[in-house]
C-alpha cells in the first residue's frame, strides 16, 4: 500500500478547522484522487482546550508550532496561523530545514519574505504552495503557473478583499455613508483585528504583489505596490459614479510596461456593466490578460472556512500526487528584480472637491489643471449652499504625477474648502 501523506497543521482557526473537516470527511475521495491516503498526524494552536466543533483526539498536540514543523511523522507542514514575523516565519523556516514541504495561506509572510523562503526551499528540494493566500477559493495561482503558462501575461487585476467590496456595494445598494457601513462590517466580524489591513488596501496589496511575481517573473516587491484605501470614498462619490455609469471598487492592477512594473491597489471607477462592476458583496474576482488566451475572468468566494480550506487542500493534493512546482512558477533564483515604473499608465480621473462660493473659483481650478497639462473632459456643480459649492470634474487621460501637481497648485488658489478626492477610471 502506498504510504500516506502526513500533515501537521499549525493554526486551528476557521481555515484550519475547515482543513481538518475535509481530511476527516473526504478521506476516501482524497485517496482516490491522489493515489495515496492523506492523514493528519499532529496539530498546534494557541489553546488546546477550545471547543472547535471538530474532534482532534486522533492527533498529537504540540504547543510550539516549531516543534510541530520538525516532527518525524509530518511530511507537509500546513501553516495557517498568520502574521509575517514570529512563530509563522520561524516554523516555516524550521520545516524547510527539516526537509518538509510547506502549504500556507499566509500572504503577509510571503509578501515580505517570500523570495528568501522560496530560494531556501528550492535549494533544499522542498516546495512551498500558497493557493489559499490569494483570493480564497479561486484557483488563480494554479491558473497562472499551470493553465496559462504558455502565455505572456500583459495585465493582472482584480478585487481581492471581500470586506472592502462588501462595504462599497453595501454603501451603493443601501445608500449608507462609509462610517455606518464600516461599523456594520465590524459588528459582523468582517474586519481584521487591525481594520486598516482591509480598508487601507494592505491585505489586498500583499496578494497583488504575489500575483505580480508569478505573472511577470519578478521578485516579490510589496514595497513597490502603491496603496490607497477606501476610507475617503463617500456616498456622494458612489452616487456620482453611478450617474456616470460606473461603480467604485478597490481594484488591484499589475502590468509590465516599458517604464517598468506597475503595481497599484486603489479605489477606481469601473464600468458598471463590466464583470468587475457587477461583482457584489464579499466575492472576489481576478482578471488575467495573456497574449494568447486574451482575457480570463475568475470569480468566487475570497474567504471563509470552506473556500480557503479548499485551496489549502488543492495544494496538499498536488504534493500527494508528487507534483512539485517552484514557488513562483520558475526558479526563485532566476526571478528578476522588479524595476518599478516611475509613473503609471495614463488614465482619466474623477475629481471631487468643494469650492468657496466666490466669483472666479472654477476658473482658478481650471487654470491650475491646464497649466499642468490636465485637460477637463466634463465638469459638474452639484447641490449648492451658502458656504461652498461641490464640484465634480472628469479629466481626459493624464499621468497621475501631473494630476498630483495640479492638485497641489489648486490648493494654493485659496478657493478650495476641502482636499480633493481623485479616483482613477480604469479600463476593464
Task: Name every residue whose Cβ is closer than 8 Å to that of residue 45 and which is 6 or more positions away in sequence.
Answer: 10, 11, 12, 13, 16
Catalytic residue chosen out of the listed positions 89, 107, 207, 249: 207
Per DSSP, the residues of 347-415 read B-EEEEEEEESSTTHHHHHHHHHHHTTPPEEEEEE----SSEEEEEEEE-SB-HHHHHHHHHHHHTTS-
**Among the residues of 162-304, which ranges form H helices?**
162-174, 178-187, 196-199, 202-216, 235-243
C-alpha cell at 277: 462592476
Give Cα 268 distance to the centre of its chain: 15
Determine contact, residues 319/77, Cβ cutoff 8 Å.
no
Could you tell me if 425 and 268 are in contact, meaning their C-beta atoms sit under 8 angstroms apart? yes
DSSP class of residue 132?
Answer: G
> Is 207 a catalytic site residue?
yes
Across the strands, what pairs with 252? 158, 265
Geometric angle at alpha carbon 424, from 420 and 428, rounded to 5°: 160
Based on DSSP, count helices (H) and strands (E) in the chain, helices before strands.
14, 16
60-61: strand order across its sheet: 60-61, 38-44, 5-10, 76-79, 101-104, 128-129
Distance, C-alpha 108 to centroid of its chain: 10
Contact 79, 103 (CB under 8 A): yes
3-class SS string, 306-358: HHHHHHHHHHHHHHHHCCCCCCCCCCHHHCECCCECCCCCCECEEEEEEEECC
DSSP state of 293: T
Q: How far apart are CA 273 and CA 284, in angstroms?
A: 17
Annotated catalytic sites, by residue?
207
Amino acid at each position: 500500500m502506498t504510504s500516506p501523506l502526513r500533515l501537521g497543521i499549525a493554526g486551528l482557526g476557521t481555515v484550519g478547522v475547515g482543513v481538518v473537516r475535509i481530511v476527516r470527511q473526504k478521506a476516501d475521495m482524497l485517496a482516490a484522487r491522489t493515489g495515496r491516503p492523506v492523514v493528519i498526524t499532529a496539530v498546534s494552536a494557541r489553546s488546546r482546550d477550545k471547543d472547535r466543533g471538530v474532534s482532534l483526539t486522533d492527533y498529537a498536540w504540540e504547543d510550539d508550532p516549531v516543534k510541530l514543523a520538525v516532527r518525524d511523522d509530518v511530511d507537509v507542514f500546513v501553516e495557517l496561523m498568520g502574521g509575517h514575523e514570529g512563530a509563522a516565519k520561524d516554523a516555516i523556516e524550521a520545516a524547510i530545514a527539516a526537509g518538509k514541504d510547506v502549504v500556507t495561506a499566509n500572504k503577509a509572510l510571503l509578501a515580505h519574505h517570500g523570495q528568501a523562503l522560496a530560494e531556501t526551499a528550492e535549494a533544499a528540494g522542498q516546495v512551498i504552495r500558497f493557493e489559499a493566500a490569494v483570493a480564497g477559493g479561486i484557483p488563480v495561482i494554479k491558473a497562472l503557473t499551470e493553465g496559462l503558462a504558455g502565455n505572456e501575461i500583459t495585465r493582472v487585476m482584480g478585487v481581492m478583499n471581500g470586506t472592502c467590496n462588501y462595504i462599497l456595494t453595501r454603501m451603493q445598494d443601501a445608500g449608507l455613508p462609509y462610517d455606518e457601513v464600516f461599523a456594520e462590517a465590524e459588528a459582523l466580524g468582517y474586519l481584521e483585528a487591525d481594520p486598516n489591513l482591509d480598508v487601507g488596501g494592505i491585505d489586498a496589496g500583499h496578494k497583488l504583489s504575489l500575483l505580480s511575481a508569478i505573472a511577470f517573473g519578478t521578485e516579490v516587491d510589496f514595497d513597490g505596490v502603491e496603496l490607497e484605501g477606501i476610507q475617503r470614498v463617500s456616498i456622494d462619490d458612489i452616487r456620482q459614479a453611478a450617474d456616470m455609469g460606473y461603480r467604485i471598487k478597490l481594484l488591484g492592477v499589475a502590468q509590465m510596461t516599458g517604464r517598468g512594473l506597475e503595481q497599484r491597489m486603489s479605489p477606481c471607477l469601473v464600468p458598471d456593466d463590466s464583470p468587475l462592476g457587477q461583482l457584489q458583496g464579499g466575492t472576489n474576482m481576478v482578471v488575467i490578460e495573456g497574449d494568447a488566451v486574451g482575457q480570463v475572468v475568475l470569480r468566487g468566494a475570497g474567504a471563509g472556512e470552506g473556500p480557503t480550506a479548499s485551496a489549502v487542500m488543492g495544494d496538499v493534493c498536488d504534493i500527494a500526487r508528487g507534483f512539485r512546482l517552484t514557488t513562483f512558477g520558475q526558479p526563485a533564483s532566476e526571478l528578476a528584480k522588479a524595476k518599478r515604473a516611475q509613473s503609471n499608465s495614463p488614465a482619466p480621473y474623477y475629481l471631487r472637491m468643494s469650492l468657496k462660493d466666490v466669483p472666479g473659483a472654477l476658473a482658478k481650478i481650471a487654470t491650475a489643471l491646464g497649466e499642468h497639462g490636465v485637460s477637463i473632459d466634463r465638469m459638474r456643480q452639484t447641490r449648492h449652499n451658502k458656504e461652498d459649492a461641490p464640484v465634480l470634474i472628469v479629466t481626459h487621460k493624464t499621468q497621475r504625477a501631473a494630476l498630483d501637481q495640479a492638485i497641489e497648485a489648486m490648493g494654493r488658489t485659496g478657493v478650495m474648502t476641502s482636499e480633493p478626492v481623485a479616483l482613477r477610471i480604469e479600463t476593464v
